[in-house]
Amino acid sequence: MVNKKVTTKGVITSIHGAVVDVKFLDELPKIHNTIIVQTKDKVRLEVFEHLPDHTTRCLAMGTTAGLSAGLEVRDTGDGLRVPVGTELLGRIVNVFGDVVDGGPEIKTEESWPIHRKSPSFVETKHSTEIIETGIKALDFLTPFVKGGKIGFLGGAGVGKTQLVTEIIHNTTMRHKTNSVFTGVGERTREGNELYVSLKDTGVLPNVAIVLGQMNESPAMRYRTPNTGVTIAEYFRDTMNKDILLFIDNIFRFIQAGAEVSTVLGRIPSETGYQSTMDSELGDIQERIVSTEKGAITSVQAIYVPADDFSDPAIQAIFSHLDSVVVLSRKIAQQKIYPAMDALASSASVDSEVLGEEHSQTLLESLKVLERYRSLQNIIAILGVDELSETEKTTVSRAKKIIKFLSQPFYTAEKFTNTPGVYVEKDDTVKGIKEILSGKYDDMSDEPFYMIGKIEDAMLKWEKIKNGGK
């Protein structure tokens, strides 16, 4: 689709930080239209709202340093468009689709507007197919349903991004899935580490990366998810592919929206966030769906401010998720990765999709883990010896399950010096079922830590009994 001819001219009347007011002599540009400021660096503005006196209020998609009242602008007659296609795989672009990895310019046959309508209810499709990640804790406790939305919740430093990169690696290597990674509010260090990690593990050619960095204007971070979703929609709608969309971090998107709302002079809600938070989040989330053509399965890392899960932004995100993976600082401090809190995490997957064996084993294991948690205060005060024999067995099995659900990651090999493993879901279910049955009651929980299949625990136990030989 060719952009409309550029005809409408305007003049900047005022600049307030990232907000620029522009007066037009002729027809007012439409909301979301891109306006170009005639300067050396070609500053882009996005029309955000119409004001009286034939004026538009625009968001600066970049720095406003050097702009001044009286500068001439031109309406492009179209919204912000980004290149879409397989050419983006293996590359890093910004919110405009411009290359930021130092490589050659990307040339694609098509470019799509980043503001698109979500599929109608009739067009959407609900899937019951589970996507295996090869990560035991995820596949057992919170299975991923194709076309669903999965949230990784946790504070800083609990392993959200590490888990995201491991899923990208495993789904690419095992299922040849293409992915779109959208970094909202990424630090330069984080973006670089992601790029190097994906490159070292050989999966970069299957991943398109969009970065809206923390040092960029709030408008750019605010629109970064739109660019990522648009690229994913192309794979779904035009190429009929199932695609994984990673958003890290969706909380930063809400933060950017709050910054934009502040510079626009809007009164915040009583919670401190922008009054439009729910609708802004809904506009993005409603585009992430499955259709007859393909599925977009979304994995969203969610920073929890001050580890407060009652935060209004976190509650708003919760309402859109199918699966919730809670990463715990206490578990991370025990060096158990992924640091997943089994009792706080959940997935809206019924027993028919899971299968009878998986569903029953999951229920039994959660009962054991719940009982273990309720006994921890008693153990801390009186010690394990004061428990009954039945409760001692429960504690022992719970510890084994917790450690068995830890796992060495491929993307962390250079830090741990331990080869990563991919474990099929059926092997995970089998292992936990055997632990619950009492098959390993005569073993300590040590051999179950950071292994793959349950058979590896037996091999490790033999080494421990033989003095490490």
For β-strands 92-93 and 81-84, DSSP reports them as: unpaired
The beta-carbon contacts of 291-294 under 8 Å, at least 24 apart in sequence, are 291/119, 291/123, 291/124, 291/125, 291/236, 291/237, 292/123, 292/125, 293/236, 293/237, 293/240, 294/235, 294/236, 294/237, 294/239, 294/240, 294/241, 294/242, 294/243
Query: How far apart (Å, rounded) are the C-alpha atoms in residues 261 and 252?
Result: 14
* Of residues 28, 29, 46, the one with CA closest to residue 37: 46
Has 186 been annotated as catalytic?
Answer: yes
Dihedral pair phi/psi, residue 68, rounded to 5°: -150, 160
Six token digits for residue 273: 């966030």
The catalytically annotated residue of 186, 216, 233, 259 is: 186
Contact 189, 216 (CB under 8 A): no
Q: Quick one: the chain helix, strand, coil %, rounded to 5?
A: 40, 20, 40
The catalytically annotated residue of 57, 146, 149, 160 is: 160
Bond into 225 cis (ω within 30): no
Has 392 been annotated as catalytic?
Answer: no
**E strand residue ranges, 239-379:** 243-248, 296-303, 323-326, 346-347
Query: How far apart (Å, rounded) are the C-alpha atoms in residues 336 and 338?
Result: 6
Six token digits for residue 238: 């035009």
DSSP state of 337: S
Query: How far apart (Å, rounded) are the C-alpha atoms in residues 324 and 77?
Result: 42
Contact 194, 167 (CB under 8 A): no
Query: How far apart (Å, rounded) are the C-alpha atoms in residues 416 and 409?
Result: 9
Six token digits for residue 47: 């029309």
Query: How far apart (Å, rounded) are the C-alpha atoms in residues 320 and 281?
Result: 9
Residue carrying the six token digits 């580490």 = 193
Has 434 been annotated as catalytic?
Answer: no
Indicate which residues carry an active-site annotation.
160, 186-187
